[in-house]
Amino acid sequence: MGLDEGKLKIIDSRTGQEYTLPIRDSSVRAIDLRQIREDPGEFGMLSYDPGYTNTASCKSRIAFIDGEKGILRYRGYPIERLAEQSSYTEVAYLLLHGDLPTQHELETWDQEVLENSSVHENVKKFMDGFLYDAHPMGVLVSTIAALSTFYPDAKQIDSRSNRYRQQVRLFSKIPTIAAYVYRKSQGLSFPDPDWDLNYSENLIHILWSGTRRQPGRKESKVLAKALDTLLVLHAEHEQNCSTSTLRQVASSNADPYVSVASAISALSGPLHGGANEAVLTMLDEIASSRRIPDFMRRVKAGEQRLMGFGHRVYKNYDPRARIVREIASNVFEVTGRNSKIDLAMELERIALDDDYFVKRRLYPNVDFYSGIIYEAMGFPPEMFTVLFAIGRSAGWLAHWEEFMRDPEKRIARPRQLYLGPDETELVPLDERLGRARGEFA
Ligand code: ACO
Pocket test for ligand 1, best of 49, 272, 309, 387 (most atoms within 8 A of CB): 309
- Predicted confidence at residue 81, as pLDDT, reads 96
Q: Is the pLDDT of residue 2 over 60?
A: no
Other CB atoms within a 10 A radius of the CB of residue 43 amount to 8
Q: How far is ligand 1, taken at its centre, from the CA of residue 103, in Å? A: 42
**pLDDT tens, residue by residue, 196-220:** 999 999 999 999 999 988 988 889 9
Of residues 437 and 328, the one with the higher pLDDT is 328
SS3 177: helix
Atom of ligand 1 nearest to the CA of 241: 50
Name which residue sits closest to atom 16 of ligand 1, judged by CA: 360
Q: What integer is the mean pLDDT of 378-392? A: 94
**pLDDT tens, residue by residue, 130-162:** 998 999 999 999 999 999 999 999 999 999 999
Name which residue sits closest to atom 40 of ligand 1, judged by CA: 310
Residues with CB under 6 Å of ligand 1 are 271-272, 275, 299, 305-312, 360, 362, 365-367
Catalytic entry in 272, 284, 353, 399:
272
Pocket test for ligand 1, best of 312, 350, 370, 388 (most atoms within 8 A of CB): 312
Pairing of the two strands 18-24 and 63-66: unpaired
- What does the mean pLDDT of the chain come to? 94
Say how far apart CA 57 and CA 54 lie, in whole Å.
10
- Predicted confidence at residue 317, as pLDDT, reads 86
Residue 355 annotated among the catalytic residues of the structure: no
Name which residue sits closest to atom 38 of ligand 1, judged by CA: 310
Q: How far is ligand 1, taken at its centre, from the CA of residue 135, in Å? A: 25
Pocket test for ligand 1, best of 271, 272, 277, 347 (most atoms within 8 A of CB): 271
Name which residue sits closest to atom 31 of ligand 1, judged by CA: 312
**pLDDT tens, residue by residue, 67-124:** 999 999 999 999 999 999 999 999 999 999 999 999 999 999 999 999 999 999 999 9
Q: Is the pLDDT of residue 441 over 60?
A: no
**pLDDT tens, residue by residue, 396-407:** 999 999 999 999
Say how far apart CA 309 and CA 185 lie, in whole Å.
30
Distance of alpha carbon 172 from its chain centroid, rounded?
A: 18
Residue 234 annotated among the catalytic residues of the structure: no
Q: How far is ligand 1, taken at its centre, from the CA of residue 50, in Å? A: 15
Q: Is the pLDDT of residue 415 over 70?
A: yes
Other CB atoms within a 10 A radius of the CB of residue 441 amount to 6
- Predicted confidence at residue 439, as pLDDT, reads 62
Say how far apart CA 325 and CA 267 lie, in whole Å.
22
Q: How far is ligand 1, taken at its centre, from the CA of residue 345, in Å? A: 19
Pocket test for ligand 1, best of 280, 282, 324, 362 (most atoms within 8 A of CB): 362
- Predicted confidence at residue 1, as pLDDT, reads 42
Q: Is the pLDDT of residue 385 over 80?
A: yes
Catalytic entry in 205, 237, 311, 399:
311
Say how far apart CA 235 and CA 266 lie, in whole Å.
16
**pLDDT tens, residue by residue, 273-318:** 888 888 999 999 999 999 999 999 999 999 999 999 999 889 988 8
Name which residue sits closest to atom 29 of ligand 1, judged by CA: 312
Q: What integer is the mean pLDDT of 319-324? A: 90
Interhelix angle 88-97/160-185, nearest 10 degrees: 150
Say how far apart CA 309 and CA 317 lie, in whole Å.
10
Q: What integer is the mean pLDDT of 313-336? A: 89
Q: How far is ligand 1, taken at its centre, from the CA of residue 311, in Å? A: 6
Percent of the residues in the chain that have a pLDDT greater than 70, as a whole number? 97
165 near 397, Cβ under 8 Å? no
CB-count burial class (<10 Å; 0-12, 13-18, 19+) for 13: exposed
Q: How far is ligand 1, taken at its centre, from the CA of residue 58, in Å? A: 24
Helical (H) or strand (E) element with 221: helix 217-234
- Predicted confidence at residue 326, as pLDDT, reads 86
Of residues 190 and 328, the one with the higher pLDDT is 190
- Predicted confidence at residue 276, as pLDDT, reads 85
- Predicted confidence at residue 440, as pLDDT, reads 61
Q: Which residues of 237-260 are buried (b: 16+ CB within 10 A; e: fewer)?
A: bbbbbbbbbbbbbbbeebbbbbbb
SS3 185: helix
Name which residue sits closest to atom 37 of ligand 1, judged by CA: 310
- Predicted confidence at residue 188, as pLDDT, reads 95
Q: How far is ligand 1, taken at its centre, from the CA of residue 85, in Å? A: 32
Q: What integer is the mean pLDDT of 169-195? A: 96
Q: How far is ligand 1, taken at its centre, from the CA of residue 148, in Å? A: 35
In degrees and rounded to multiples of 5, residue 157 shows phi and psi of -80, -5
Of residues 267 and 381, the one with the higher pLDDT is 267
Name which residue sits closest to atom 50 of ligand 1, judged by CA: 272
Residue 311 annotated among the catalytic residues of the structure: yes
Q: What is the pTM of this model?
A: 0.90
The domain spans of the chain are 1-48
